[in-house]
Amino acid sequence: MLVINLTHKPKNLVATKKLHRQTKMTVAKIKVRITKKTMTIVGANADIHLAIALQLVLALFLLHLNSNTIY
């Protein structure tokens, strides 16, 4: 459900349209490193808006998992 809400935002819709217009398909390589205080996402061959959307989804998912998180 979080992914659907994020993809309906205008910037993310533009990012998905740009991805479909590419003539050569490239594989996106995304690595996620999670520590207690930070979360780092390294993306290669991926659109910047899609990487930001992925980061938001992971952050919200981790906040729901950890009930002791300070907002």
CA distance 26 to 66: 34
Q: Residue 4: its pLDDT value, please?
A: 29
Q: Residue 64: its pLDDT value, please?
A: 65
Q: Residue 56: its pLDDT value, please?
A: 74
Contact 69, 63 (CB under 8 A): yes
> What are the pLDDT digits (tens) for 29-43?
666 676 666 666 666
Angle CA(36)–CA(38)–CA(41) in degrees, nearest 5?
A: 125
> What are the pLDDT digits (tens) for 4-20?
233 344 444 444 444 44
